[in-house]
Amino acid sequence: MPKYRGTGFEEFYADPPMTPDEAKEERENIYSPMIPFPERIEACIQRFRARRRITGADATKDFNYYLFLGGVDTNPRMFGGNLESELKDMTPEERRTATATDTIYSSGGGSKFYNADDAEGWDVDFAGIVAGFCSAYLPSMTNWDYARMGKAIGIVENFLTYVLQHDVCPEYEDDVKEAVGVCHRANVELPVAHQALLHLPGPFNRALSQLFCEGQDWEESDPDSVVTLGVTVKMLMDGASDEAIVAKVDGLVNKTAKLIETEDCGMEVVAIHRATGISRQIAQTWTVQDRKIGALGRLDMKPYVIEDGHDRGDDAEGGGGGDSGEVTTFLVDDDALRRLQVGFKLQLRVGRLDNGMSFIQQVDAVHVEWYTFLPQSLMAHYKEPVANDRPAPTVASPGDGTDAMDKSDVALSDD
């Protein structure tokens, strides 16, 4: 009989049924409510690792980082090697514990991980950890590799399902189920956010940047640059009857409008007004250099501070921005609007004209509505400070101070 039993992540995989003794062992000794939660979840992670085969360096790295965001140390234990002869004499449970690398510290462990003796600032938040992992980590670390992102999300969802099936922490059951829901949303909305990033700022806003922003490097062969010639036509949109918009359009057509400032900022989508059927029909009747000109819609956004670990001072007060921010309306190609959702967060550069019109010069990032920044991510490369007898840098020795010591020793010896 073949010994290969799969990875545990196959589509229709199901854990084998437990014996009555195994079920009793889990219920009374491993996941008993009388046992502190950190000990239960540590045992759960170790047993999950033993029952699943996470294949591939990227998949292992991603799952380890998910656990790290939750305060779990996944680094191999120092001097934790075991001889094969020693493992043979152990029970399966003892062998699992001896070879496990996932640790939740009850004491010690430093500042990088959760420590039960110093738990201030830590909360049990399954949904929050998954949201931060999927929205902030996966897009940047996978470079929007859909296959890798899907596999990482699948592993996390499989783990959460394992937590529910084995009744590891019934007191947090609703939170775990919410985290599973975040996984489902991530599979759908992360690719949508990426497609929005690829289609923004769109030909129309690029044309405005070319008209009003100096120092733009535009290739003459760039097909989007022909949109500049069709600015007037593109304004024949569903908002053309709006006198305020018409006045701003006149400034663009007559080139009387002037750029007064550009600003790098974060904004949140509050409303999306897609182009109407009439505006699409008008746009389809016009071509510039044999190129169709798409219809325009309106995008309403308000200021939003996208947390990323940088100290923004007073700008970060009031959370992400709340409802106090003034709403700004942008004219955006309908092809890009259909890829946006209300609540999406954009990190962008905005140009403002003296006629009151604003346009999107460039978009650096598009985040989903439930984007979550986890401060624990700042500890990824943290190392505990250690005592150092080396002298501090000085004016005479800006390196590490050792040169100054050498010179003083020479001076003393000369005397």
Q: What is the pLDDT of residues 63-107, one digit of tens each?
A: 999 999 988 887 776 555 555 555 555 555 555 565 566 677 665
pLDDT value of position 226: 42
Averaging pLDDT over each range in 83-87, 120-124, 293-297, 305-309, which range is the top one? 305-309
Between 366 and 251, name the one with better pLDDT: 366
Mean pLDDT value of segment 329-351: 91
- Whether 167 has a pLDDT exceeding 80, the answer reads yes
The reported pLDDT for the residue numbered 220 is 44
**pLDDT for 72:** 85
Model pLDDT, residue 239 = 45
Tens digit of pLDDT for each residue in 173-190?
999 999 999 999 999 999
Domain ranges across the chain:
20-76+87-197, 200-367
Chain length of the chain: 415
- In whole angstroms, what is the distance from residue 385 CA to residue 390 CA? 14
Q: Which residues have a Cβ under 8 Å from the Cβ of 106 and sit 6 or more positions away?
A: 38, 39, 115, 116, 117
Residue 250's pLDDT is: 56
The predicted structure's pLDDT at residue 380: 80
Is residue 288 a contact partner of residue 229, using CB atoms and an 8 Å limit?
A: yes
Interatomic CA distance for residues 74 and 105, integer angstroms? 11
Q: Tokens in use for 68?
A: 């790290």
pLDDT digits (tens, 9 = 90+) for 216-238: 554 444 544 444 444 544 554 44
Is the pLDDT higher at 257 or at 414? 257
**Where is average pLDDT lowest: 50-64, 130-144, 200-214, 399-413?**
399-413
pLDDT band at residue 254 under the 50/70/90 scheme: low
Distances in Å between the Cα of 207 and the Cα atoms of 302, 331, 363 are 23, 12, 15
80 conformational bin, left if phi > 0, alpha if psi -120 to 50, beta if neither: alpha
pTM of this structure: 0.79
Among the residue ranges 41-50, 91-100, 105-114, 382-391, the one predicted with the least confidence is 91-100
The mean pLDDT of 121-147, rounded to a whole number, is 91
Report the alpha-carbon distance of residue 378 to residue 186 in Å, rounded.
Answer: 22
Please tell me the distance from the alpha carbon of residue 413 to that of residue 124, in angstroms, as a whole number.
Answer: 63
